[in-house]
Amino acid sequence: MTQADLVVGRWGARFMGRHLRCAIGRGGITATKREGDGATPAGCHRITALLFRPDRLAASTLPGWARAIGPRDLWSDDPTDPAYNRLVRAPHGFSHEALRRPDPLYDLILITDWNADPALPGHGSAIFVHTWRKPRHPTAGCVAFARADLRWIIARLTPGTRLIVRP
Domain definitions of the chain by residue range? 6-165
Q: How far apart are CA 112 and CA 126, in angstroms?
A: 8
Cβ density class 35-70: b for 16+ within 10 Å, e for less: bebebbbbbebebeebbbbeeebeeeebeeebbebe
User: Which residues does 112 contact at the CB level (< 8 Å), separation at least 6?
Assistant: 45, 46, 47, 48, 127, 128, 129, 163
pLDDT one digit per residue (tens) for the chain, 167 residues: 888 999 999 999 999 999 999 999 999 999 999 999 999 999 999 999 999 999 999 999 999 999 999 999 999 999 999 999 999 999 999 999 999 999 999 999 999 999 999 999 999 999 999 999 999 899 999 999 999 999 999 999 988 899 999 99
Output the pLDDT for position 25. 98
Given the candidates 2.30.29, 2.30.30, 1.10.10, 2.40.440, the CATH classification of the domain at 6-165 is: 2.40.440
Whether pTM exceeds 0.85? yes
User: Which residues does 57 contact at the CB level (< 8 Å), separation at least 6?
Assistant: 107, 108
